[in-house]
Structure 1
């Protein structure tokens, strides 16, 4: 039978917005006018009421097509790839597949066919990684109508696969920030999405330590694995489903098939990143701490990648700043093991410096204010060029945080751990000859590039403990003393930098409009003609602070082989023309500090 109001069922788990659409043909012998089934009479037109269901299979299929058929609209962009919006997309928990119910009224827009989505639609923001493709099967609507039913989930749902939800850097870079800008795209203002868009995670990971961070993005958040139906003929139907995330914010690629490094084509900027961090601080209900002294945050690791002289380093930083600024600095040693993420974020939001060994916690540097600095400590045998994720973050246009690497160049200041488990750099799983080679190569050359994943050399070296060289008293050591790093930090001036950030962001987007009040006339001089052009500056030129203003004039007389180009600094131009010339084309463009403006064009007819 077709979808009937009498068959609406409210699910106690998912709330009153979820109803059950039952489209199973149970008794083909019941006439549609049967008084025992009054719902049939209310559903079908009067001309069908004296006909049995057996003779109306085609009608029922068509009705089912309208009620249960799926549709999809897809678009693609260079930064984000393919993204799609589905209507009536079904999901089978037992088969762990999405089902596109194909009917006569299904719409398939922007793609050649549904099967192509499996190779082109991905549920994670991670670049060049195919671990989370969109798994979908197509089912004819008449098969659905005769054999299956669905619990319908109304409203908008955004489907995302978390990449590594146990790693804070991946949580922010791969999940939280891309999801935020996807919701921003869908709703305009993310706050309006929080209680309207359901966030559904399709990966097989459980809720974990960072689940509360994901909850800032949606008041309706769930794992796809939560949707359990034991009946193989019962599915879920998502009324409005979005797949594919906005990858505008992805500033780093992790080395799948090539050395890892910054995402070169990213147009993401610092002011957009600060829009996200402001949102997060608001959703986490963080109060801006009262600042009485400048704060330095040191990220401490308690179990591995330790700074062995951490207390001495903290004291040296405080003493150095007092000696050179006569200001008292508060040095706060914080760790993910002992402090909440909210507390660390609150402290970082007013800090002037963040110091820590390369690791996931440094991603919290996104909350540093403009004019601050991030110092990343690198263990022995690793070049900072191998993993530039935090340098790339600080280098985002207009972000305003100075990145400074410190590298341990001295073997005497490192402690390696071959006894660790293999996933944190241990060597016990390797042959004895490979272990000896790894130890020998540690002293011979640095790691310069890195491809993903499970590189034993990288893990062995990055999980070393480090003693930071504090000063230059030990002349025989090669490392740059940390005092030199602090000298660079003090060069960062907050107010001028903040002003430069604002000016840079604005100026980069400005360009001259078209030239105004264009006029021309011809002066006859013996056997030739003189063309005189005149115009005024673009109307917005006064707000552009042009140190250098030029006008490019291109004239096509249709006599010369190519159009002729000229450059002048004032709004006047003359050119001698051939007497027989009747028509010419003129283009004028204003350049402000070499930034090209809008084009002015006209065709001149000479009598």
Structure 2
């Protein structure tokens, strides 16, 4: 009996284990089936594990609903565009826009007049236009290998990546402010995760690291796209650069000079330079510690022949150390770190002087010009120094002695040579005493003169620098260490007056008037308001003219020009410190 009982128990245990094992196997089988089904159909679970492991789709499937575009601006010179699924064909060297059921096209009017967008911050340059080719979504099947760049991409052209002026003015500043515009969030005003896609086709160049500091993603160059597939698509792309931070035009349509309607201010420049210094690991500095002069030295052309004498003269005259910088001896980050603490920079006209944007407020910029080159005609660095709030003092020195210049007529044409010209043209250039105004970019007389070497006349040069230093000190003392132009870019405006009331009153002698009262703008306590006034406009309804008044108080009885049984419109606005004018409050209707 005992043996039979043991045998029965063993059979029951075996059955239970077999049943449990089968259940486990069945559970595993069903789980694997569900997983395979999910991966096959693309159905996603809502659980945490599913969110961490989304299904993988073929790259081409991301574009299957088509491309879309949203643009803002009136034409190519002031327009920027955001694209979804914008593609590029390396074979055809053109961007491609796929039209599908979900396609949106907004703001692309005048797309071909002459282009949709400028690829650079240089407006309306005919080598920098952006266009795309239209294809139906059915054409996507003809591209067998599709590479998708997820995330945000900024697509643009560098204008001249071998020249520091162009690098900073045309590219880096506009890229920085464009990225701030399109990537700012509640967490951070600047997102370094955006990808820079550089499409002009130039080699990366010696300043490529300056572009890389604007993104933690690897730079993407046009010439690399052919290795990625038959089609390269950008899931979220912006095309074009902001032009709001540029201050100079290079003379493509009219002779070069400051651009019209300059909007950039010192605040914009300082925000950018602070960002650059942070990214390059350059520490902050105080203005009071600026006790040396920087001399930009050119080693290949446009030389200061007596540079050693000039250095000694500067050091002796101003009792300061003179630091000589050149592209051969210092990297750009090293130059920026030194300039950031300098009290003065001196240099021959050239792109080095763009780095004056890193000078502390109160510093001096002295620009030298070769013989026959008029400083009034070439002013990119003077314009920079004079931007509102920069608080830099600018001075120009010009060689007016022909015996102090060394010309190079046998140079290649792009370095100032004139041997390729006929004898009459050469003779005219050699006899000329001033380069006439001209367009960019191959004027032979301009190139001949700008690539001269110069023996600087020390006495006249020091006279120019002394005056600049005196002007800089006067500016500091006269404005209490600030510049009047600071007010132009740091204005905080008062809001409209509030709690407006009016009522008809009559004096003892029968005169009718309007008693008006209001309260100051609610943000007035936050302003540095040393003086507050109010401007009042009173207009009889149906009339065009109005009576203006300026008052230092918030209540007054107006009787001049006021008649009984008439209706009037009244506006009031606040004026702070005589120059900061706020908006009018909504018009109020008053009756007598």
Q: Structure 1 residue 469: deviation in Å?
A: 1.2
CA separation of 1:499 and 1:78: change in aligned 2, threshold 3 A: farther
Higher mean Cα deviation, 190-199 or 148-157?
190-199
CA separation of 1:550 and 1:191: change in aligned 2, threshold 3 A: closer
Q: Structure 1 residue 566: deviation in Å?
A: 3.1
Question: Which residue, out of 379, 384, 402, partners 2:375?
Answer: 384
1:444-500 alpha-carbon deviations (Å, 9 max, x no partner): xx12523111111100001111111112xxxxxxxx442342242144238656842
1:68-123 alpha-carbon deviations (Å, 9 max, x no partner): 4100111117996111111111111111111100112200011238x538613111
Is 1:425 matched up with 2:416? yes
Instruction: Find the counterpart in structure 2 of residue 116 from structure 1.
Output: 112
Higher mean Cα deviation, 425-434 or 594-603?
594-603
Q: Structure 1 residue 541: deviation in Å?
A: 5.0
1:324-343 mapped onto 2 (5 Å cutoff): 329-343=320-334
SS, match of residue 517 in structure 2: strand
Higher radius of gyration, 1 or 2: 2
1:284-343 alpha-carbon deviations (Å, 9 max, x no partner): 122458997711010111121111111111111111113xxxxxx111111112222122
Q: Structure 1 residue 510: deviation in Å?
A: 3.3
Instruction: Find the counterpart in structure 1 of residue 92 from structure 2.
Output: 95
Instruction: Find the counterpart in structure 2 of residue 455 from structure 1.
Output: 443
Higher mean Cα deviation, 305-314 or 142-151?
142-151
Work out the CA distance in 1 between the residues paired with 2:165 and 2:580.
Answer: 37
Query: Does the 8 A contact of 1:425 with 1:461 survive in 2?
Result: yes
SS, match of residue 447 in structure 1: coil
1:56-135 mapped onto 2 (5 Å cutoff): 67-76=64-73, 81-112=78-109, 116=112, 119-135=115-131
Q: Structure 1 residue 141: deviation in Å?
A: 1.0
Is 1:500 matched up with 2:482? yes
Q: Structure 1 residue 64: deviation in Å?
A: 7.1
SS, match of residue 169 in structure 2: helix
Query: Does the 8 A contact of 1:229 with 1:235 survive in 2?
Result: no
Query: Does the 8 A contact of 1:94 with 1:229 survive in 2?
Result: no
CA separation of 1:451 and 1:602: change in aligned 2, threshold 3 A: closer
CA separation of 1:430 and 1:191: change in aligned 2, threshold 3 A: farther
Is 1:556 matched up with 2:540? yes
Work out the CA distance in 1 between the residues paired with 2:489 and 2:449.
Answer: 44
Work out the CA distance in 2 between the residues paired with 1:297 and 1:605.
Answer: 65
Higher mean Cα deviation, 570-579 or 404-413?
570-579
Instruction: Find the counterpart in structure 2 of residue 574 from structure 1.
Output: 558
Query: Does the 8 A contact of 1:535 with 1:572 survive in 2?
Result: no
Is 1:588 matched up with 2:572? yes
CA separation of 1:594 and 1:171: change in aligned 2, threshold 3 A: closer
Question: Which residue, out of 168, 191, 208, partners 1:211?
Answer: 208
Query: Does the 8 A contact of 2:180 with 2:189 survive in 1?
Result: no
Q: Structure 1 residue 151: deviation in Å?
A: 1.8
1:5-20 mapped onto 2 (5 Å cutoff): none
Instruction: Find the counterpart in structure 2 of residue 598 from structure 1.
Output: 583
Work out the CA distance in 1 between the residues paired with 2:414 and 2:76.
Answer: 33
Q: Structure 1 residue 347: deviation in Å?
A: 0.9
Question: Which residue, out of 272, 276, 283, partners 2:272?
Answer: 276
Instruction: Find the counterpart in structure 1 of residue 512 from structure 2.
Output: 529
Instruction: Find the counterpart in structure 2 of residue 375 from structure 1.
Output: 366
Q: Structure 1 residue 376: deviation in Å?
A: 0.3
1:160-207 alpha-carbon deviations (Å, 9 max, x no partner): 111111111111111111111111112227977665211110011112
Work out the CA distance in 1 between the residues paired with 2:228 and 2:330.
Answer: 42
SS, match of residue 153 in structure 2: strand
Structure 2 unaligned segments of length 5 or more: list them.
1-35, 44-59
CA separation of 1:346 and 1:435: change in aligned 2, threshold 3 A: same
CA separation of 1:515 and 1:241: change in aligned 2, threshold 3 A: closer
Structure 1 unaligned segments of length 5 or more: list them.
1-37, 46-62, 323-328, 472-479
1:401-430 alpha-carbon deviations (Å, 9 max, x no partner): 111100111112111110211111011111
Work out the CA distance in 2 between the residues paired with 1:519 and 1:154.
Answer: 58
CA separation of 1:469 and 1:204: change in aligned 2, threshold 3 A: same
Instruction: Find the counterpart in structure 1 of residue 355 from structure 2.
Output: 364
SS, match of residue 227 in structure 1: helix
CA separation of 1:198 and 1:568: change in aligned 2, threshold 3 A: closer
SS, match of residue 492 in structure 1: helix
Work out the CA distance in 2 between the residues paired with 1:368 and 1:108.
Answer: 45
Work out the CA distance in 1 between the residues paired with 2:267 and 2:484.
Answer: 9
SS, match of residue 119 in structure 1: coil
Instruction: Find the counterpart in structure 1 of residue 56 from structure 2.
Output: none
Work out the CA distance in 2 between the residues paired with 1:176 and 1:554.
Answer: 50
Is 1:510 matched up with 2:501? no
Query: Does the 8 A contact of 1:516 with 1:537 survive in 2?
Result: yes
Instruction: Find the counterpart in structure 2 of residue 313 from structure 1.
Output: 310
Q: Structure 1 residue 360: deviation in Å?
A: 1.2
1:193-242 alpha-carbon deviations (Å, 9 max, x no partner): 665211110011112211111111112212021012487xx311211111
1:247-258 mapped onto 2 (5 Å cutoff): 247-258=243-254
Query: TM-score if structure 2 supplies the norm length?
Result: 0.82
Work out the CA distance in 1 between the residues paired with 2:76 and 2:264.
Answer: 10
SS, match of residue 233 in structure 2: strand
Query: Does the 8 A contact of 2:536 with 2:572 survive in 1?
Result: yes
1:159-178 mapped onto 2 (5 Å cutoff): 159-178=155-174
CA separation of 1:321 and 1:193: change in aligned 2, threshold 3 A: closer
CA separation of 1:578 and 1:349: change in aligned 2, threshold 3 A: closer
Paired residues, what number?
530
Work out the CA distance in 1 between the residues paired with 2:224 and 2:312.
Answer: 50
**Superposition RMSD on alpha carbons, in Å?**
3.1
Query: TM-score if structure 1 supplies the norm length?
Result: 0.80
Q: Structure 1 residue 546: deviation in Å?
A: 5.0
